[in-house]
Structure 1
Amino acid sequence: MANTVLLGQYWETNSLFHRLDPRTKIISIIIIMLSFLMLETFISYVVATILVLGMVLMSKIPFHIFRSGLRPVLFVLMFTFLYHVVFTKGNVIWSWSFIEITMEGLHNGILIVWRIILLILLSSMLTLTTQPLTLAHGLEKLLAPLSKLNVPVEQFSLMIVIAIRFIPTFVQELNRILLAQKARGYDITSLTLPKRIFAYIPMLIPLLFTIIQRAEQLTYAIDARAYGNGKGRTTFKQLKFQQMDYQLGGIVIIITLSLILLNIGGV
Structure 2
Amino acid sequence: MSSTVLIGQYMETNSMFHRLDPRTKILCIFIIMLSFLTLETAISYVVSSLFVFGVLFLSNVPLHVFVRGLKPLLFILMFTFLYNVLLTKGTTIWSWSFIEVTWEGLENGMRYVGRIILLVLLASVLTLTTMPLDLARGLEKLLAPLSKLNAPVEQFSLMIVIAIRFIPTILQELDRILLAQKARGYDMSSLSLPKRIYAYIPILIPLLFTTIQRAEQLTYAIDARAYGKGKGRTQYKQLQFQQIDYIAGAIAILFVLTLLLIKLGGL
Q: Aligning the two structures, in what range does the TM-score lie when normalised by the shorter sequence?
A: over 0.9
**1:235: how far off?**
1.1
Q: TM-score, normalised by structure 2?
A: 0.99
Residue 247 of structure 1, CA deviation: 1.0
Aligned residue in 2 for 1:150: 150
1:95 alignment partner, SS class? strand
Q: How does 1:1-267 map to 2 (within 5 A)?
A: 1-267=1-267
What amino acid sits opposite 1:196 in the alignment?
Answer: R
1:14 is paired with a residue whose SS is: coil
How far apart are residue 188 of structure 1 and its match?
Answer: 1.1
Deviations 1:212-258 (A, max 9, x none): 00100000000111100001111111000001101111111111010
Q: Identity percentage over the alignment?
A: 72
Aligned residues: 267
Provide the rounded CA distance (Å) in 1 between the counterparts of 2:196 and 2:79. 17
Measure how far apart 1:73 and its partner are. 0.7
Which amino acid in 2 is paired with 1:198? Answer: Y
For 2:199, give the aligned amino acid. Answer: A
Which SS does the other structure have where 1:222 is aligned? Answer: helix
Question: How much does 1:260 deviate?
Answer: 1.1
CA distance in 2 between partners of 1:98 and 1:249 (Å): 51
* Structure 2: gaps spanning 5 or more residues: none
How far apart are the structure 1 equivalents of 2:118 and 2:128?
A: 15
Q: Give 1:31 deviation, angstroms.
A: 0.3
Structure 1: distance between partners of 2:5 and 2:252: 27
Instruction: Name segments (4+ residues, structure 1) moved above 4 Å.
Output: none
Q: What is the distance in 1 between the residues matched to 2:187 and 2:264?
A: 53
Output one character per residue of 1:99-119: Cα deviation in whole Å (capped at 9) or x when no partner: 111111111101100110000
- Distance in 2, matches of 1:262 and 1:162, equals 38
1:209 shift after superposition: 0.6
The Cα shift of 1:264 comes to 1.8
* Matched AA of 2:213: Q
TM-score normalised by L of structure 1: 0.99
